């Protein structure tokens, strides 16, 4: 008989029932060959005495082991470790209780490089030049949480709890159809809407259905990094066209259409990401005509439609689409707060139907309760109110940010004051470089993002997107002061000519 007194450790303070602890430890002993097939187990009285537990605990434990097939009971002979349990082969046999924290797999898998983000710096005492995110402190989370709970307390809300449609909550689809038709000049019915987890999932689903290995997709010479990543991941070949102050160069698009069979074009027509340029009316029409003539899809990512300051937003391409070429994606994440992963894909019904089927495989369905909450949030006018409120704040922040930037660093940089959005596209004069400035900035508590990632076409454009929306007036002053200090430390001659 093995030394059960020391081989088995029962923890009376554990939440786990004693009999279960006991049977689990028997399993470990069997697996670790301490008890081998055919080994006799002590009688229940004996073991109960050794371990100082009630005999019923031992009996329950043995019953459990019998049921699980680890041991067998032979009448008039006793209880034995089951003869036919193959022993577990281990790479390293470890006798101590602590199992190895497995770092690597016993199987191979695809390790193609996916997006590597630089590890998050410790941001607690740092300011960060982000690339244009909203100020989560302004988020109406209490209103949303109140609505959520209110909904959960209603009796018929049980309807939201079960498995449901992969298209998304029907009330949100209906509310969004009305809302988007009203605000963006669309002419859609709810059947043309798929609710997604933010616009990223919409991009992903569309990409999976559009692209096969080596399909061609047209993007800007510099482009939204996650879109490039998504298209590349699904196997599409990226063809790049120049971007100027009127957005994507559509003549270059036309040239590519003549050479390649284009499957899709990706654009952020309202404000090109990252440069913030708005696609001109002329190019919009040109693009829609090209899509029609060459039968490609336009993936229009309208990520910051809600944020425009100087004039009303320009209606999306989707509002002019008469031929079913536009796949329109957007979300409320950017508008309300990133945590609410509520986005949408709008397209002709046949495409939406296929996306909904694919969705079944990717994550089964959305969160119908949260989606219903957002349906009410839109219908009650809360979304409108929220947008009106933050729009004024962000417009002010933009002005303060751009004024300070121009005043302090006008000599070293150039930029257009953006008409909307949450970021400024800042070009550095060629004699300076962000790398030097970033090192100095970090010493002063300011982190400058990875500018190189905007240079997707490797044209060394030396530009950086600077978000202004997440900081209040006093924080903006601090950020620009730190940035100015970093410039001055890096380039002491800067400003001396004045």
Residues that bind a second copy (rule: CB under 8 A) add up to a total of: 137
- Site map (CB under 8 A) of a second copy, residues 180-219, x = contact: --xx-x-xxx-xx---xxx-xx--x---xxx-x-------
CB 42 within 8 A of CB 50: yes
Contacts 24+ apart (CB under 8 A), 455-460: 455/222, 456/221, 456/222, 456/223, 456/225, 456/228, 456/240, 457/221, 457/222, 457/240, 459/221, 459/222
CA-closest candidate to residue 97, choices 17, 23, 173, 7: 7
Quote the least distance from Cβ 464 to a second copy, whole Å: 18
Alpha-carbon distance values, 205 to 200, 344, 424, 469 (Å)? 9, 11, 30, 30
Per CB under 8 A, contacts with a second copy among 429-488 are none
Quote the least distance from Cβ 256 to a second copy, whole Å: 15
Per CB under 8 A, contacts with a second copy among 58-117 are 63-64, 67-70, 82, 84-92, 94, 98-111, 114-116
How many CA atoms, within 13 angstroms, populate the side-chain half-sphere of residue 269?
A: 29
Element housing 484 (H / E): helix 473-490
CA 444 to CA 303: how far, in whole Å? 32
Of 63 and 382, nearer to a second copy (C-beta) is 63
From the list 341-349, 392-400, 452-460, 489-497, the region that binds a second copy by CB under 8 A is: 341-349
Structure tokens at 65: 């082991």
Per CB under 8 A, contacts with a second copy among 393-432 are none
Of 49 and 88, nearer to a second copy (C-beta) is 88
Of 85 and 391, nearer to a second copy (C-beta) is 85
Residue 301 pairs with which residues in a beta bridge? 329
From the list 51-59, 177-185, 388-396, 435-443, the region that binds a second copy by CB under 8 A is: 177-185
Q: Does 269 bind a second copy (CB under 8 A)?
A: no
Among 9, 73, 255, 323, binds a second copy (CB under 8 A): 323
Quote the least distance from Cβ 439 to a second copy, whole Å: 25
Per CB under 8 A, contacts with a second copy among 273-312 are 280-282, 285-286, 288-289, 291-293, 295-297, 310-312
DSSP 174-187: HHHHHHHHHHH---
Residues 6+ apart with CB under 8 A from 465: 131, 132, 274, 423, 424, 425, 426, 449, 454
Of 130 and 436, nearer to a second copy (C-beta) is 130
From the list 132-140, 404-412, 458-466, 477-485, the region that binds a second copy by CB under 8 A is: 132-140
Per CB under 8 A, contacts with a second copy among 353-372 are 354, 357-358, 360-370
Quote the least distance from Cβ 102 to a second copy, whole Å: 4
CA 124 to CA 147: how far, in whole Å? 32
Quote the least distance from Cβ 391 to a second copy, whole Å: 14
CA 483 to CA 498: how far, in whole Å? 19
Per CB under 8 A, contacts with a second copy among 109-128 are 109-111, 114-116
Of 46 and 181, nearer to a second copy (C-beta) is 181
Of 49 and 161, nearer to a second copy (C-beta) is 161
The conformation of residue 324, written as its DSSP 8-state character, comes to S
Diameter of the chain by CA atoms?
104
Q: Count other Cβ atoms within 10 Å, centred on residue 462.
A: 18
Quote the least distance from Cβ 267 to a second copy, whole Å: 15
Per CB under 8 A, contacts with a second copy among 232-261 are 233
């Amino acid at each position: 008989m093995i030394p059960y007194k020391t081989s088995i450790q029962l923890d009376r303070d554990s939440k786990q029932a004693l009999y279960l602890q006991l049977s689990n430890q028997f399993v470990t002993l069997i697996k670790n060959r301490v008890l081998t097939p055919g080994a006799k187990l002590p009688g229940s009285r004996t073991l109960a005495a050794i371990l100082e537990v009630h005999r019923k605990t031992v009996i329950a434990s043995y019953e459990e082991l019998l049921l699980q097939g680890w041991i067998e009971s032979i009448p008039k002979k006793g209880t034995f470790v089951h003869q036919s349990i193959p022993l577990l082969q281990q790479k390293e046999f470890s006798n101590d209780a602590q199992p190895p924290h497995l770092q690597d797999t016993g199987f191979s898998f695809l390790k193609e490089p996916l997006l590597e983000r630089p590890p998050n710096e410790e941001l607690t005492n740092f300011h960060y030049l982000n690339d244009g995110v909203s100020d989560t402190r302004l988020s109406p989370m209490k209103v949303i949480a109140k609505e959520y709970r209110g909904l959960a307390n209603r009796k018929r809300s049980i309807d939201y709890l079960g498995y449901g449609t992969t298209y998304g909550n029907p009330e949100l689809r209906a509310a969004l159809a009305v809302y988007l038709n009203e605000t963006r000049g669309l002419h859609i019915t709810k059947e043309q809407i798929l609710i997604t987890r933010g616009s990223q999932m919409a991009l992903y689903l569309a990409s999976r259905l559009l692209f096969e290995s080596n399909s061609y997709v047209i993007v800007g010479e510099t482009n939204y990094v996650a879109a490039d990543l998504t298209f590349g991941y699904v196997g599409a070949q990226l063809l790049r066209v120049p971007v100027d102050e009127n957005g994507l160069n559509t003549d270059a698009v036309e040239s590519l259409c003549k050479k390649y069979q284009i499957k899709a074009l990706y654009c952020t027509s309202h404000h090109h990401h990252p440069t913030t340029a708005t696609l001109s009316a002329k190019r919009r029409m040109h693009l829609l005509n090209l899509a029609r003539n060459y039968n490609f899809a336009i993936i229009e990512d309208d990520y910051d439609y809600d944020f425009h300051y100087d004039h009303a937003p320009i209606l999306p391409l989707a509002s002019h689409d008469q031929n079913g070429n536009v796949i329109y994606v957007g979300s409320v994440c950017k508008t309300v707060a990133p945590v609410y992963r509520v986005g949408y894909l709008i397209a002709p019904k046949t495409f939406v139907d296929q996306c909904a089927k694919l969705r079944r495989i990717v994550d089964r369905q959305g969160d119908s309760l949260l989606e219903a909450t957002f349906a009410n949030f839109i219908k009650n006018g809360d979304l409108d109110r929220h947008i009106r409120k933050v729009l004024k704040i962000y417009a002010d922040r933009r002005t303060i940010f751009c004024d300070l930037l121009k005043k302090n660093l006008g000599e070293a940089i150039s930029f257009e004051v953006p008409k909307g959005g949450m970021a400024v596209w800042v070009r550095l004069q060629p004699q300076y470089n962000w790398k030097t400035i970033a090192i100095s900035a970090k010493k002063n508590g300011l982190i400058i993002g990875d500018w190189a990632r905007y240079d997707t076409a490797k044209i060394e454009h030396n530009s950086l997107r600077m978000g202004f929306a997440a900081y209040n007036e006093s924080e903006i002053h601090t950020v620009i002061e730190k940035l100015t200090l970093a410039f001055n430390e890096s380039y002491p001659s800067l400003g001396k000519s004045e």
